[in-house]
Amino acid sequence: MKILFYDTKPYDKETFEKLLPGFSGIAIDFLKTDISPRTAPLARGYDAICAFVSSNLGKDTLDVLHKCGIRLLLMRCAGFNNIDLKTAKDYGMTILRVPGYSPEAVAEHAIALALAVNRHLHKSYIKVRENNFSLVGLMGFNFYQKTAGIIGTGKIGAAMAKLCHGFGMNVLAYDVYQNPDLGFASYVDLDELLASSDLISLHCPLMDSTYHLINKDTIEKMKDGVILINTSRGGLIKTEDLILGIRARKFFGVGLDVYEEETKNVFEDRSDEILEHSTTARLLSFPNVIITSHQGFFTQEALEAIADTTLSNAKGYETGNIPSGNIVDS
């Protein structure tokens, strides 16, 4: 099988090439450019393409891939909301993903964001670098004996719940399905979780039912001085309403590893650009907001797990032995 790998970063190439010898019959060519209708023709002559969560796999791109004979889309990520599933189904394309690579990696980043926002680490780091050792403006609060609200208790949400429990927090959970591994957590309805939580962390998939789950109405139901963390999907939060909530001083702090306007920013160096008319720039203007660059997954262990599952998916496609949980139903 010949795979064309789009949007290659040095760490991608290094990790996949490290594991590739264990998968005979698979060859990969790496491209730095991401996939789009303009770059999709490069896939002609390949059996599959490999893309990421921010890649453009809309109808126009899939139209070109279909003309190139591509029938397999390998997603080296869990999310697939960037794919036009109807078009993929019409063309008989198989979509394989990595549903779980390192839940702990994302959960640990979520707790790191929560701690950093709470204890103002981003501000204190800069102050001390400038020989300013004043504590003014750096006061946080103990997580111990406070309440954490976990929205979505799949693998990542469960890992986050366990970390919060380890801090001595009371853990509330909200999900359609209750996780039997979280005996210490209390499942409640969303309104109760919003009203009772000092820390709210989002870990649910982006679907029609969860799109803009955090909006003006749900923000109003939250406790004053809450910390909000999102390491899941940017579309879970209506950014304009979040900004209004921040301006109204509803939040003690906000930590975002994902956000609605991130597509053009993810993994790119835009330090020489001016982000005019940008909600990202507006979010960055607030002193109690920390934004990171979709790095929750970014650990050695997670990258190796992603590469191993992606290559296993390719091999399984050839042999007809693909884990059902890795198949995206279109």
- Among 294, 301, 304, 318, which one carries the catalytic annotation? 294
The pairing of beta strand 2-5 with beta strand 170-174: unpaired
Helix (H, G, I), strand (E, B) or coil at 170: strand
| Distance (Å, whole) CA 70 – CA 82 | 17
Nearest to 200 by CA among 178, 223, 166, 182: 223
148, β-bridge pairs? 171, 199
Q: Is 262 a catalytic residue?
A: yes
Backbone angles phi, psi at 201, to 5 degrees: -125, 130
CB 226, CB 251: distance < 8 Å: yes
- Among 203, 233, 260, 282, which one carries the catalytic annotation? 233
Q: Is 203 a catalytic residue?
A: no
- Among 203, 260, 262, 282, which one carries the catalytic annotation? 262
| Distance (Å, whole) CA 170 – CA 82 | 35
| Distance (Å, whole) CA 268 – CA 225 | 33
Contacts of 277 (CB under 8 A, 6+ apart): none
Residue 260: how many CB atoms within 10 A of its CB?
19
| Distance (Å, whole) CA 100 – CA 119 | 30
Helix (H, G, I), strand (E, B) or coil at 186: strand
End-to-end CA distance of the chain: 23
Amino acid, single-letter form, for residue 315: K
| Distance (Å, whole) CA 71 – CA 84 | 14
Active site residues: 233, 262, 294
